[in-house]
């Protein structure tokens, strides 16, 4: 049975702070692990634990029996010991609490309720850009529940139970409120910290364990196993009141409040976030059509995703699908729309590059090229393929890097045929193409980007090492069948029957005429990595002046491609 | 004591002698290696820090000063009858500005003003120096705001790895996935990291940084600082090059301290400037 306690005494408060600090200290690593927002740096639990420890130590120093004075001590200790953002917010919660308690020897549920509200208000004020779905939300919801409970309860223990229950529920909901949390399938770390403090404090109020109800609520909260969470969060079929999880982005003249109000009656789990121009909407409803109709009135819709949650549950329950998201229900495509999704739908410009081999493909993709077309010397892409590639780029302005003289004409044809603003930068080879792609910067205007990319590609001198299929004399160089040949800017300058010496001779020629800062070697699919590394070392020793870089290009036919800049 | 007390934090990387000469109080952030906790610049020097950073597998963590630390410094100044201008690291990167603002609000809102420089390292330092030596709080505040507007800052990192791990990488995030080693010329725009130009090769990046710097500065006389993270020789070379390149009044060479260094990594080189005071 609960104890008849209508007042919180100083000694109760003292034990609450100690118990909370102990509990937080025990669970700090679990909380660190949850840390994904705003930066996954994993120290929220530790920072909060150390901050509360500083508060508890200050309380320990005091001999007072007054709640007001002890709350003051806790506030002071936390203020001096605050670590990290979460610690600062915690110190403000304690500061707000202490302000209301000032001068009070004991506290009633009404005092506590006001103190909790002031704590929450103080914490919100301290944060320049308060974000919902964080520890602020948990504190605020707890304070609101405290206010409600103070109307019907006089017993501080019973009152605190109500606060704890609300905080626990609010924490579970943080998972839906921030995309980063949803993606990781975790609750907010700071919010978990606040709940842990409440639970620790509560455990000291009752001599025995917390009631079953509270423990059950606590178990709903994910700790370290997001996979287990995903399973436990799946609700039984009959409990699904609203069947369709509906998500979309609206761009236009959006009033978030108005949207929220209009959509509210249509379902639950409503989430409307964004700004005046963009709103992200998430709602569980039985009328997805009506949701879309309403949203349509506010602007253009993107990334519409409607999932039947009952169907998902059936499939999950019969283990047909792997469970990989801790989001309560699964979404077929992207789980939660991120800004990247919104950007994707309306990029300003993009790039198509023609390349050879997997290595080059990855290199170009890494530089931000949207579509990489396989082609080059022996398999030039057709105009039609190029047009298709241009159309695939999710942008109105497209830059094309043919990266081969023989592709240039088709690229120019494709540019005329495509229904977009297309600019072809006449890169004669991959070495020039990669320099141009490096200079690509989508925050500039098209004209300026093109100028920069052109100028970057013109600053490159290229070398190529391949072999000859017949005896001949080209560009004044005599070549035997099966000789290795080295080309400078497309003209044969050396030939020999040994790969390494021919490559070195080519590079000597490339470096003799100019002051090089950077030489990049891209080895082809017929060269093994260790051989390429050996060659690089020899070249570095012979030419210590420029910087050397070696990459796997994976191109056929060409043993080495060289870019001198 | 008369005059305005200028306060900053240890992310300003202000050389001790400079802080003393201008009577600027520096509130330290803390740096932890596991359970060992240090005060940036107080019981942890840049040399010790980088030695440990290279040797030990743990990534150090940094933590903003507690509001109470600022409150103590402010209280002392107010008790001495001085007003305070407190100049800090970009609020987009650290909660330091927030902690200082809270302390100001608690101690004396009227007589303590806090500036968010939206910058880092000696970028903060140059703003603090511009604010020093003024007789009234509003003059000091105005000088700081002007310096903040005029501030230029470029930096180069050895690797983007540290910025990525710490999540403070801004627009440079798009370069992390690149297979090619990109050495971007970096800057700060609106308080977060931005890319000025993508370059390949360390030397080319440095050359481009100086070229763009010269384009921006032109013939204006400047004060500047070259900052280095455990790369003194490179820092000294860069200082000499900049001295040859532009007209200047004051130049500083400084260490990128532990707090900033744990975010940008060893080998970082920075160049910070603003028009020389009274030269516009």
> Which domains does chain B possess?
5-149 (3.40.50.10170), 152-275 (3.30.1180.10)
Q: Closest to A84 (Cβ–Cβ): which among B63, B181, B195? A: B63
The pLDDT value given to residue A254 = 77
Q: Which residue has the tokens 């009752």?
A: A206
A1 within domain boundaries: no
A230 within domain boundaries: no
A4 within domain boundaries: no
Q: Which residues of A499-523 are buried (b: 16+ CB within 10 A; e: fewer)?
A: beebbbbbbeebbeeeebbbbbbbb
The answer to whether A536 faces chain B, any CB pair under 8 Å, is: no
Please, is A28 exposed, middle or buried when counting C-beta atoms within 10 Å of its C-beta (0-12, 13-18, 19+)? buried
A92 within domain boundaries: yes
Q: If DSSP codes are grouped into helix, strand and coil, which group holds residue A8? A: strand
A450 plus A468 within the same structural domain: no
Are B98 and A128 an interchain contact pair (Cβ–Cβ within 8 Å)? yes
Give the total residue count for chain A: 565
Mutation target to probe the A interface, by most A beta carbons within 10 A, among B178, B206, B209 is B178
A112 plus A162 within the same structural domain: yes
Q: Which domain does A424 fall in, by range?
A: 346-458
Q: Could you check whether the bond before residue A172 is cis, i.e. omega within 30 degrees of 0?
A: no
Provide the chain A residues 12-71 that lie in CB contact (below 8 A) with chain B.
Answer: 38-41, 43, 47
In the 8-state DSSP scheme, what is residue A549? Answer: E
A3 within domain boundaries: no
CATH number for the domain including A469?
Answer: 3.30.1180
CATH number for the domain including A105?
Answer: 1.25.40.340
Q: Which residue has the tokens 């200047």?
A: B248
Are B181 and A83 an interchain contact pair (Cβ–Cβ within 8 Å)? no
Find, in chain A, the residue whose alpha carbon is nearest to that of B167: A39
Query: CA–CA separation, A229 vs A327, rounded Å?
Result: 9
Instruction: Among A297, A324, A342, identify where a domain stops.
Output: A342
A447 plus A499 within the same structural domain: no
Whether this model's ipTM surpasses 0.90 comes out as no
- Alpha helices per DSSP H over chain B: 16-21, 46-55, 67-79, 96-107, 121-131, 137-150, 161-165, 202-217, 232-245, 258-264
- As for how many domains chain A has, the answer is 4
Please, is A378 exposed, middle or buried when counting C-beta atoms within 10 Å of its C-beta (0-12, 13-18, 19+)? exposed
The answer to whether A88 faces chain B, any CB pair under 8 Å, is: yes
Nearest to A411 by CA among A379, A384, A386, A378: A386
The pLDDT value given to residue A47 = 84
A473 plus A438 within the same structural domain: no
Nearest to A378 by CA among A557, A525, A559: A557
pLDDT tens, chain A, 565 aa long: 445 688 999 989 999 999 899 999 888 888 887 776 555 556 788 889 988 998 999 998 999 999 999 999 999 888 888 887 788 889 999 999 999 999 999 999 999 999 999 999 999 987 777 888 889 999 999 999 999 999 999 999 999 999 999 999 999 988 888 877 777 777 888 999 999 999 999 988 875 443 322 222 233 333 332 222 222 222 223 235 677 778 777 888 777 778 878 887 887 766 666 666 767 777 778 888 888 888 888 888 877 878 776 654 444 333 333 333 233 333 332 233 333 444 445 688 999 999 988 889 999 988 989 999 987 555 678 888 888 899 989 899 999 999 988 888 888 888 988 889 999 999 999 999 999 999 999 889 999 999 999 999 999 999 999 988 778 888 888 888 888 999 999 889 999 999 999 999 999 999 998 889 999 999 999 999 999 999 999 999 999 999 999 999 999 889 999 999 9
Are B203 and A517 an interchain contact pair (Cβ–Cβ within 8 Å)? yes
A327 plus A371 within the same structural domain: no
Q: Closest to A518 (Cβ–Cβ): which among B168, B198, B204? A: B204
Sign of CA dihedral B82, B87, B92, B93: negative
CATH number for the domain including A408?
Answer: 3.40.50.510
Instruction: Among A430, A458, A486, identify where a domain stops.
Output: A458
A105 plus A217 within the same structural domain: yes
A134 within domain boundaries: yes
Provide the chain A residues 352-371 that lie in CB contact (below 8 A) with chain B.
Answer: 359, 362-363, 366-368
User: Alpha carbon A211 to chain centroid distance?
Assistant: 38
CA dihedral A37, A38, A42, A48 (to 10 degrees): -90
Find, in chain A, the residue whose alpha carbon is nearest to that of B172: A441
A360 plus A325 within the same structural domain: no
Query: CA–CA separation, B123 vs B272, rounded Å?
Result: 6
Query: CA–CA separation, B36 vs B30, rounded Å?
Result: 10
pTM summary value: 0.69
Distances (CA, A) of A158 to A153, A155, A202, B159: 7, 5, 10, 56
- Residue A295 phi/psi, 5-degree rounding, is -65, -35
A439 plus A489 within the same structural domain: no
A446 plus A358 within the same structural domain: yes
Q: Which two tokens stand for residue A486?
A: 């080295």
pLDDT band of residue B173 (cuts 50, 70, 90) is confident
Q: For the CA atoms of chain B, what is the radius of gyration?
A: 18
Instruction: Among A410, A443, A458, identify where a domain stops.
Output: A458
Q: How wide is the angle at C-alpha A139 spanned by C-alphas A138 and A142, nearest 5°?
A: 85
A375 plus A333 within the same structural domain: no
Q: For the CA atoms of chain A, what is the radius of gyration?
A: 33
- Is the separation of the CB atoms in A157 and A100 below 8 Å? no
**Which helix (DSSP H) or strand (DSSP E) does residue B115 occupy?**
strand B112-116
A101 plus A202 within the same structural domain: yes
CATH number for the domain including A299?
Answer: 3.30.70
Q: Closest to A40 (Cβ–Cβ): which among B167, B198, B201? A: B167
Q: Closest to A366 (Cβ–Cβ): which among B171, B179, B207? A: B179
Find, in chain A, the residue whose alpha carbon is nearest to that of B103: A79
- Is the separation of the CB atoms in A374 and A356 below 8 Å? yes
A277 plus A308 within the same structural domain: yes
A231 within domain boundaries: no
Distance of residue A492 Cα from the nearest chain B Cα, in angstroms: 27
Number of helical H runs and strand E runs in chain B: 10, 13
A204 within domain boundaries: yes
Give B217's contacts (C-beta < 8 A, 6+ positions apart). Answer: B152, B246, B273
User: Alpha carbon B253 to chain centroid distance?
Assistant: 13
């Amino acid at each position: 049975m609960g104890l008849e306690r209508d007042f919180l005494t100083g000694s109760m408060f003292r034990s609450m702070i100690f118990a909370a600090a102990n509990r937080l200290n025990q669970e700090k690593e679990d909380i660190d692990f949850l840390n994904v927002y705003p930066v996954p740096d994993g120290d929220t639990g530790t920072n909060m634990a150390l901050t509360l420890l500083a508060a508890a130590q200050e309380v320990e120093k005091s001999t007072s029996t007054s709640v007001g004075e002890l709350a003051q001590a806790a506030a002071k200790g936390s203020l001096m010991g605050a670590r990290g953002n979460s610690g600062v917010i915690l110190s403000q919660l304690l500061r707000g609490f202490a302000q209301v308690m000032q001068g009070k020897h004991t506290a009633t549920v009404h005092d506590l309720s006001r103190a909790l509200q002031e704590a929450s208000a103080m914490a919100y004020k301290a944060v320049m850009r308060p974000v919902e779905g964080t520890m602020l939300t948990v504190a605020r919801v707890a304070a609101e529940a405290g206010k409600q409970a103070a109307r019907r309860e006089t017993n501080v223990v019973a009152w605190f139970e109500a606060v704890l229950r609300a905080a626990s529920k609010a924490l579970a909901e943080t998972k839906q409120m921030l995309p980063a949390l949803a993606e990781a399938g975790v609750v907010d770390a700071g919010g978990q910290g606040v709940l842990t403090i409440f639970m620790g404090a509560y455990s000291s109020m009752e001599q025995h364990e917390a009631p079953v109800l509270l423990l059950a609520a606590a178990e709903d909260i994910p700790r370290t196993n997001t996979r287990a969470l995903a399973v436990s969060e799946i609700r039984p079929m009959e409990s699904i009141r609203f069947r369709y999880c509906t998500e979309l982005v609206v761009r236009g003249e959006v009033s978030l409040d108005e949207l929220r109000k209009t959509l509210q009656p249509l379902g639950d789990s409503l989430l409307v976030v964004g700004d005046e121009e963009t709103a992200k909407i998430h709602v569980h409803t039985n009328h997805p059509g009506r949701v879309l109709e309403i949203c349509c009135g506010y602007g253009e819709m993107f990334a519409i995703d409607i999932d039947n949650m009952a169907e998902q549950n059936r499939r999950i329950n019969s283990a047909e699908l792997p469970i990989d998201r801790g989001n309560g229900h699964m979404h077929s495509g992207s789980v939660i729309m991120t800004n990247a999704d919104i950007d994707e739908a309306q990029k300003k410009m993009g790039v198509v590059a023609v390349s050879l081999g997997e290595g080059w493909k990855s290199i170009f993709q890494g530089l931000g090229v949207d579509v990489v077309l396989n082609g080059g010397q022996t398999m030039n892409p057709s105009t039609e393929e190029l047009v298709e590639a241009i159309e695939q780029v999710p942008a109105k302005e497209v830059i094309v890097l043919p990266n081969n003289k023989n592709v240039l004409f088709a690229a120019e044809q494709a540019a005329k045929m495509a229904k977009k603003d297309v600019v072809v930068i006449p890169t004669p080879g991959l070495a020039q193409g990669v320099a141009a792609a490096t200079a690509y910067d989508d925050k500039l205007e098209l004209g300026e980007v093109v100028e920069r990319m052109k100028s970057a590609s013109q600053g490159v001198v290229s070398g190529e090492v391949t072999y000859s299929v017949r005896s001949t004399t080209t560009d004044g160089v005599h070549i035997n069948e099966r000789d290795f040949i080295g080309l400078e800017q497309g003209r044969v300058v050396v030939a020999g029957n040994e790969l390494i010496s021919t490559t070195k001779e080519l590079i000597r020629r490339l470096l003799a005429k100019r002051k090089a800062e950077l030489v990049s070697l891209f080895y082809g699919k017929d060269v093994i990595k260790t051989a390429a590394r050996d060659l690089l070392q020899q070249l570095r020793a012979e030419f210590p002046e420029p910087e050397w870089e070696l990459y796997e290009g994976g191109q056929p036919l060409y043993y080495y491609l060289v870019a001198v800049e | 004591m008369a005059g305005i007390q200028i306060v900053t934090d240890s992310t300003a990387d202000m050389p001790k002698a400079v802080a003393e000469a201008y009577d600027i109080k520096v509130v330290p952030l803390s740096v932890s290696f596991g359970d060992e906790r240090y005060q940036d610049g107080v019981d942890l020097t840049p040399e010790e820090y980088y030695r440990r950073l290279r040797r030990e597998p743990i990534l150090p963590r940094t933590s903003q000063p507690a509001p109470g630390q600022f409150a103590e410094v402010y209280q002392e100044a107010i008790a001495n009858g001085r007003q305070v201008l407190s100049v800090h690291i970009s609020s987009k990167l650290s909660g330091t500005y927030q902690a200082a603002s809270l302390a100001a609000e608690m101690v004396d809102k009227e007589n303590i003003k806090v500036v968010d420089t939206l910058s880092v390292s000696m970028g903060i330092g140059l703003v603090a120096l511009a604010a020093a030596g003024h007789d009234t709080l509003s003059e000091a505040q105005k000088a700081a705001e002007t310096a903040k507007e005029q501030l230029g800052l470029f930096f180069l990192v050895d690797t983007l790895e540290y910025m990525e791990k710490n999540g403070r990488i801004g627009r440079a995030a798009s370069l992390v996935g690149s297979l090619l080693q990109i050495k971007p010329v970096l800057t700060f725009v609106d308080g977060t990291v931005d890319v000025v130009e993508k370059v390949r090769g360390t030397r080319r990046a440095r050359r481009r940084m100086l070229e763009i710097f010269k384009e921006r500065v032109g013939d204006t006389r400047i004060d500047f600082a070259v900052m280095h993270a455990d790369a003194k020789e490179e820092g000294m070379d860069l200082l000499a090059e900049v001295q040859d390149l532009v007209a200047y009044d004051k130049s500083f060479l400084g260490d990128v301290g532990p707090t900033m260094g744990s975010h940008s990594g060893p080998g970082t080189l920075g160049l910070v400037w603003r028009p020389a005071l009274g030269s516009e």
